[in-house]
Chains A and B, each alone.
Chain A
């Protein structure tokens, strides 16, 4: 693999078509993307350019019409539906614009949901969820229902749910879209903290001021990449705490250059 950082996601000529024949439209067209571990990617672009479709494909909620998607070097088309579900539970965390908490479950059980599907006992699930909620200052609201929380609190709970199973990839689709600037800032600082712990984040946003948090900003247009700007060198990407020791001692510092590719 790459000398520097591990490649976690690799998309090659990924195409997503909706409809057939004359009614066919392409949400993604020959999309190429390589994501390294520890990147914080912001995806921007006009409405309908295929951002959500891209996240759904990366998050294994949908499958591509053609092209290859390698997750940790394994083509996902060869992964069974059952294992894809397990991967969603353990390796991928989703954050949505509309929070998507289950209204009938208390916050703590919403947060523990991914653990239900990765084989944890109920007590361990709740202990772990409680720990995470503590981190998000929501501990005293554990047994509140989603409707009893503010939008910002709900989104923080949703972020807690996304990271509760310690996933490798966090996919956020306009997580601040429904929030005011104060709550947005709070949510972004949480995401930034998660990123600094070595997590890979791919986030869709319409707010250009948030790009300062990112290590890479991608502009999309009509189902393909328009611009792709890296603001942090791969070698300077944060490293997962537990993986630091395993990393090859090749700390040959690369210059902090800006890489710019124009398609």
Chain B
């Protein structure tokens, strides 16, 4: 049996070598399909490892409350793409923040009310759209931020104070040390009391660029902006042992205090980054369909070439049958040829796909992602493609009549 397989492998390899150029082009068809699958899987892998590293970074003791919608996954994805979720009508209030603060096992609670506003600085510099975060003094602890200079917001500050992101400070004042300067937001003057240290990875799980944002007290903001929405309440718990119980308590307490309103969700761990997850799973499934189609096209390429090869080699098939090849021998010879083509195509695609993935990683924050599952998927899809599309030509070759084939000069 092993000898038989090896012999057929040798036969197939010889005939592939004979038509190097054609075989290469056929392989290329499969390679492109496999490469796109690899690229997608590797990107999906690196995105999900990015998400879990974000979760690790924000810590397992974080709980967030978000206004929930009854929207479908797809429209949520559309919202995310157009960032309109930022302006979702929210049913969360500063009163809810106060309610949560009073519960057990709560270390700190901060609201997150992001709006985009225009700012003008001391010397009439004007920025048309700056994310303004309405929050409270706990925010700096919850987000694990540090100050480059000055202080963060304080509950009992006498005047309207603001803390500024490092990048925004530069944009607005042309300096990294603007503490004491003032700015005008919605007609109200704010004094800068602190500057945040730049963050490594400024786009966090809220899709908020902290380095370019302005931070003011939510209650101060509420007074001048009556359309202010609290998009999220971030909570750090004291210990993570009974996180689930804390989450449950928060939910029940809020429902009670909001007179039975259940249009919000209390999330922890992976669930916090989940919306990003649905986005990329929708995108990646679309891409997978495209990759699958290109694989089918590659497979049809193999079938086409194999059919041409069978027709061209009719005379050879006649000779082989005359000197003792059985139907099974001819079948295996041509099937092996298709398999070798598709597997080499798969191998080429593996190199191509990872090459592209590494290139992409150079220009994106992703890390290339390699796993044995991806290799197994590649190998098996290539094998399956060769098998499916090699079957028909091999059967056609095997069924040729030797006498007719010997008379045939192709």
Residue ranges of A at the interface with B (Cβ–Cβ < 8 Å): 56, 59, 61-62, 81-82, 85-90, 94, 96, 100-102, 104-105, 109, 113-114, 116-119, 121-122, 161, 165
Contacts and interface: CB of A to CB of B under 8 A. Distances in A.
Contacts of B329: 85, 117
B78 to A, nearest CB: 58
Given A104-B18, A105-B14, A122-B10, A61 B327 contact: no
Contact of B326 (A62, A82, A90): A82
Interface of B: 3-4, 7, 10-11, 14-15, 18, 315-316, 318-329, 402-403, 406
A117 B324 CA distance: 6
A207 B316 CA distance: 29
Contacts of B10: 122
Contacts of A122: 7, 10
A90 B322 CA distance: 11
Nearest to B7: A116
Nearest to A116: B7
A89 B328 CA distance: 14
B3 A61 contact: no
Contacts, number: 70
B403 A86 contact: no
22 contacts: A56-B403, A81-B327, A85-B325, A85-B326, A85-B329, A86-B324, A86-B326, A87-B324, A88-B321, A89-B324, A96-B406, A100-B318, A100-B319, A102-B319, A102-B320, A113-B319, A116-B324, A116-B325, A117-B324, A117-B325, A118-B324, A119-B3
Nearest to B324: A89
Contact of B323 (A56, A81, A117, A119): A117
B144 to A, nearest CB: 67
Given A104-B18, A117-B329, 14 more contacts: A59-B322, A61-B402, A82-B326, A85-B329, A86-B326, A89-B323, A90-B324, A96-B406, A100-B318, A101-B319, A102-B319, A113-B320, A116-B7, A116-B324
B324 A82 contact: no
A96 B407 CA distance: 11
Nearest to A113: B323
Contacts of B325: 85, 89, 116-117
A88 B322 contact: yes
Contacts of B327: 81-82, 85
A128 B325 CA distance: 19
Contacts of B319: 100-102, 113
Nearest to A102: B316
A122 B406 CA distance: 25
Contacts of B7: 116, 122
Contacts of A85: 321, 324-327, 329
Given A82-B328, A85-B329, A119-B3, A94 B15 contact: no
Contact of A117 (B14, B15, B316, B326): B326
Contacts of B4: 119
Secondary structure at the B interface, as helix, strand, loop or mixed, is helix
A94 B322 CA distance: 7
A165 B325 CA distance: 13
A62 B401 CA distance: 9
Nearest to A92: B324
Nearest to A53: B403
Contacts of B11: 116
Contacts of B15: 104
Nearest to B322: A94
A232 B281 CA distance: 86
Contact of A61 (B315, B316, B322): B322
Given A82-B328, A105-B14, A88 B403 contact: no
A87 B322 CA distance: 10
B326 A100 contact: no
A96 B402 CA distance: 13
B299 to A, nearest CB: 26
A81 B15 CA distance: 26
B326 A114 contact: no
A162 to B, nearest CB: 8
Nearest to A96: B406
Most buried by B among A61, A82, A101, A161: A61
By CB atoms of chain B within 10 A, which of A90, A94, A104, A116 has the most? Answer: A116
Contacts of B402: 61
A165 B324 CA distance: 10
A178 B206 CA distance: 85
B3 A114 contact: no
A94 B327 CA distance: 18
A174 to B, nearest CB: 13
A121 B10 CA distance: 11
Contacts of A104: 15, 18, 316
Nearest to A165: B324
